[in-house]
């Protein structure tokens, strides 16, 4: 039986005001693609913060429901609004409901 958190995550990724449609392509099988919903996230690199005397740098990330992607891998591709990104790293949240994909533009 789904928990309240499961239902909240599914509702957020189904909401077009929060999530965007994307196409995910595993690196190992570039012909196999799947439609997914993503929440794009801009993260500030705190190691290059203005307080350290350096310019801050934004990194692009995308959150994807774990029910949509079983196991991401480095090198996988994500296309969002005709922009193609490559997965550089990934991690799962503490509740194992969402993958955070660290992306770089391809």
Give per-residue pLDDT as tens, 44-83.
655 555 555 555 456 899 999 999 999 999 999 999 999 9
Spatial separation of the C-alpha atoms in residues 46 and 58, rounded to whole Å: 9
Q: 59 vs 100, which has greater pLDDT?
A: 100
pTM for the model: 0.82
Tell me if 10 sits within 8 A of 18, measured CB to CB: no
Spatial separation of the C-alpha atoms in residues 7 and 34, rounded to whole Å: 22
Give per-residue pLDDT as tens, 29-54.
767 899 999 999 987 655 555 555 55
The structural domains of the chain, ordered by start, are 4-105 (2.40.10.210)
Residue 23 has pLDDT above 90, yes or no: yes
How high is the pLDDT of residue 32?
87
Spatial separation of the C-alpha atoms in residues 41 and 58, rounded to whole Å: 10
Q: How many helices (H) and strands (E) does the chain have?
A: 1, 6
């Amino acid at each position: 039986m789904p928990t309240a958190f499961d239902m909240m995550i599914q509702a957020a990724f189904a909401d077009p005001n929060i999530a965007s449609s994307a196409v995910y392509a595993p690196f190992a099988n570039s012909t196999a693609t799947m439609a997914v919903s993503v929440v794009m996230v801009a993260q500030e690199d705190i190691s290059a913060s203005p307080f350290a005397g350096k310019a801050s740098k934004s990194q692009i990330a995308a959150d994807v429901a774990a029910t949509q992607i079983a196991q991401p891998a480095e090198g996988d591709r994500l296309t969002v609004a005709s922009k193609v990104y490559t997965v550089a790293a990934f991690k799962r949240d503490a509740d194992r409901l969402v993958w955070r994909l660290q992306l770089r533009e391809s």
